[in-house]
Amino acid sequence: MAVAIGVAVTLAGCGEPAAPSGGTGGSGGTSGTGTAKSAPATFTGPSRKPDVTVVSATVSRGKVEIAQNGVNAQGRVKVRRGATVRITVTTDEADEFHLHGYDRTLKLSPGRPGTLDVVADKTGVFEAELHHSGARVFELQVS
């Protein structure tokens, strides 16, 4: 019985200081508690980094293939307002890429990728096209 009481007192003694030391700043318990408290700050930090959506478009013989963040997309790229959109376009003919609504253009040479970064700060649906061929590359939906 004395052993059981001794174990209970020892366990209770170990458990009690951990709670107050987080609030009082004791050197032993603070690092464990401080790490737990700083974990949300670490988690919150990366979410403040700007969103970057990578759009790749290839136009060959009039056929357009697009991918959003490495996944095949079906004509419409959806992003959140404030996101950075990195658009890379490769064509088999000289042309000019134009993103309507943002009035951004990109001169393209055959077989050489061109890249355009845009901050999606306007909401709506905006057409992206090639000016000379008239090919619609994709629609950018910002919400």
pLDDT in tens, 29-40: 333 333 333 333
Sheet holding 76-79, edge to edge: 76-79, 136-142, 124-130, 95-99, 104-108
What is the residue extent of each domain of the chain? Answer: 2-47, 52-142
What does pTM read for this prediction? Answer: 0.64
- Distance (Å, rounded) from C-alpha 84 to C-alpha 117? 7
pLDDT in tens, 84-128: 999 999 999 999 999 999 999 999 999 999 999 999 999 999 999
pLDDT in tens, 42-85: 333 444 455 799 999 999 998 999 999 999 988 899 999 999 99
Q: Domain spanning 52-142: which CATH class is it, in words?
A: mainly beta
